[in-house]
């Protein structure tokens, strides 16, 4: 009987020790995964999580941590659809925990929604409400949500997004220095809003120190640094500083391929900008081959109705036309515009940009009536969105005047030219 008792005691001690080792493995794996995530090593972070034995007993907090890190890793890899489930798991595992934990989980869900194809409005509203309840309207959590709100807003109301980010940054400046990474994020979003307002000099002034700050704080090759390098390169391109833009975009592409992979959405977006550089340099065949490859990769990764894919297909239409395949370019542009209207919405800036290109191709091929009709359609949407004196509205008016002139309607064209000149002069 005593032998049996000794066997039971030894078995129990073994089970306790086994549980303790499993717990230690889970704790260390979670911490390792979190550190790798912070460095932007998303694949290695996922591998650390996958090393936790499936039989390990996990607490609610540990389950939440694993789901949060997994969602962030998948988000970082550009696998936005795959990130939805673990983000929801993290939210479910936050039930009954602190207001701060719940706010952080709702922010994660909203961040994934912003990057995906669905409307993020409801998710952002829930996240902001929770953040305010957790630590006030000017706390870091609320500022993080407002940053994502402004990023979404910048595509349709860039001036409002700029003002929101200036308010966010003013509040963030009162935070301790250990939130420097968040402050750089806020500066990057302000730069994007200025870019979308076509305030290129102002955008460069904001983005240059953000880029330098991220290099110093994170590293030259961190994904967040590469985000800033890409955006700054694009701004320099729009300013006509071609060589500087080429240098930054080429380096951003090299490092994004190295860190994120050649088919990551961010890498493909940088490749898209380089295609536009090639077109500007009249390297049409090289641009066409690269554009075909980018479009195929984005279609396979995100689907043809994703905004990134649509913009790449628009570049493909331009490359086709400029390389002498005019009919194929027009048909591609027509299809892209239809996709954009269906998937994004007719009045969204991305759709109007695609429409501008389609109308331009129609005009260049001598189909003036169709071009005029489409430019007028875009004008109504642009004017309603940004007003009659916005640079985008004036650009559309200028195109309409050019078409009217070729149609022989010179008096109408001259009136539009005069109006445009007076607005630009003021």
pLDDT value, residue 123:
95
Inter-CA distances, 236 with 189, 275, 415, Å: 17, 15, 34
Number of domains in the chain: 1
Q: Residue 422 domain-assigned?
A: yes
Q: Residue 264 domain-assigned?
A: no
CB-based contacts of 289, cutoff 8 Å, min separation 6: none
What is the DSSP code (8-state) at residue 117?
S
Q: Residue 178 domain-assigned?
A: no
pLDDT value, residue 24:
53
Q: Residue 385 domain-assigned?
A: yes
pLDDT value, residue 23:
52
pLDDT value, residue 318:
92
In three-state secondary structure terms, 196 is: helix
Q: Residue 419 domain-assigned?
A: yes
pLDDT tens, the chain, 426 aa long: 455 455 444 444 444 444 444 455 889 999 999 999 999 999 999 999 999 998 999 999 999 999 999 999 999 999 999 999 999 999 999 999 999 999 999 999 999 999 876 678 999 999 999 999 999 999 999 999 999 999 999 987 889 999 999 999 999 998 887 899 999 999 999 999 999 888 999 999 999 999 999 999 999 999 999 999 999 999 999 999 999 999 999 999 999 999 999 999 999 999 999 998 898 889 999 999 999 999 999 999 888 988 889 999 999 999 999 999 999 999 999 999 999 999 888 888 788 889 999 999 999 999 999 999 999 999 998 887 777 777 778 889 999 999 999 999 999 999 998 988 888 777
CATH of the domain at 393: 1.25.40
pLDDT value, residue 241:
93
Residue 332 · residue 320 · CB < 8 Å: yes
pLDDT value, residue 195:
93
Residue 339 · residue 310 · CB < 8 Å: yes
Q: Which two tokens stand for residue 233?
A: 């390169």
Q: Residue 393 domain-assigned?
A: yes
Question: Which residue carries 């996990």 as its tokens?
Answer: 58
Q: What is the residue range of 415's domain?
A: 366-426
Q: Which two tokens stand for residue 141?
A: 């959590």
Number of Cβ within a 10 Å radius of residue 123: 23
Residue 394 · residue 423 · CB < 8 Å: yes
Q: What is the number of alpha carbons within 13 Å of residue 217 lying toward its C-beta? A: 20
For residues 6 and 4, what is the distance between their CA atoms, to the nearest angstrom? 5
Residue environment code for 193-210, b if the CB has 16+ CB neighbours within 10 A, otherwise e: bbbbbebbebbbebbeeb
Residue 114 · residue 152 · CB < 8 Å: yes
For residues 425 and 423, what is the distance between their CA atoms, to the nearest angstrom? 5
For residues 223 and 363, what is the distance between their CA atoms, to the nearest angstrom? 41
Q: What is the number of alpha carbons within 13 Å of residue 170 lying toward its C-beta? A: 6
Q: Which two tokens stand for residue 202?
A: 């102002």
Please report the beta strands in 97-186, taking only residues with DSSP state E, as ranges in sequence order. none
Q: Residue 387 domain-assigned?
A: yes
Q: Residue 291 domain-assigned?
A: no
Residue 149 · residue 129 · CB < 8 Å: no
């Amino acid at each position: 009987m005593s032998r049996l008792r000794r066997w039971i005691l030894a078995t129990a001690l073994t089970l306790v020790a086994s549980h303790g080792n499993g717990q230690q493995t889970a704790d260390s794996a979670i911490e390792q995964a979190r550190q790798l995530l912070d460095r932007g090593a998303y694949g290695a972070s996922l591998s650390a999580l996958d090393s936790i034995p499936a039989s390990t007993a996990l607490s609610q907090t540990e389950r939440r941590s694993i789901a949060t890190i997994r969602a962030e890793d998948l988000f970082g890899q550009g696998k936005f659809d795959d990130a939805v489930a673990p983000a929801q798991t993290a939210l479910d595992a936050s039930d009954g925990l602190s207001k701060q934990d719940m706010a952080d989980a709702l922010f994660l869900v909203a961040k994934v929604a912003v990057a995906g194809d669905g409307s993020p409005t409801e998710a952002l509203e829930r996240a902001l409400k929770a953040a305010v309840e957790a630590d006030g309207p000017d706390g870091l959590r609320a500022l993080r949500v407002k940053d994502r709100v402004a990023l979404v807003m910048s595509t349709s109301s860039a001036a409002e997004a700029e003002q929101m980010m200036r308010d966010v940054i003013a509040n963030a400046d009162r935070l301790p220095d250990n939130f420097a990474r968040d402050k750089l994020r806020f500066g990057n979003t302000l730069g994007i809003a200025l870019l979308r307002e076509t305030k290129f000099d102002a955008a460069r002034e904001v983005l240059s120190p953000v880029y330098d700050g991220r290099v110093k704080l994170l590293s030259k090759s961190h994904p967040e640094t590469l985000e800033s390098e890409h955006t700054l390169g694009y701004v320099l391109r729009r300013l006509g500083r071609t060589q500087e833009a080429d240098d930054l975009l080429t380096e951003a592409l090299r490092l994004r391929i190295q860190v994120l992979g050649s088919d990551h959405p961010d890498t493909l977006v940088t490749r898209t900008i380089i295609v536009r550089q090639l077109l500007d340099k009249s390297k049409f065949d090289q641009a066409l081959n690269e554009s075909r490859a980018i479009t195929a990769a984005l279609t396979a990764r995100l689907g043809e109705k994703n905004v990134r894919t649509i913009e790449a297909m628009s570049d493909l239409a331009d490359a086709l036309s400029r390389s002498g395949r005019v009919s194929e370019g027009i048909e591609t542009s027509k299809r892209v515009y239809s996709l954009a209207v269906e998937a994004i919405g007719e009045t969204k800036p991305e759709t109007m940009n695609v429409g501008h290109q389609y109308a331009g191709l129609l005009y260049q091929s001598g189909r003036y009536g169709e071009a005029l009709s489409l430019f007028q359609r875009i004008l109504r949407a642009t004017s309603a969105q940004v007003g009659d004196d916005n640079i985008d509205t004036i650009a559309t008016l200028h195109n309409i005047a050019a078409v009217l002139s070729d149609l022989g309607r010179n008096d109408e064209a001259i009136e539009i030219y005069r109006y445009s000149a007076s607005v630009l002069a003021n």
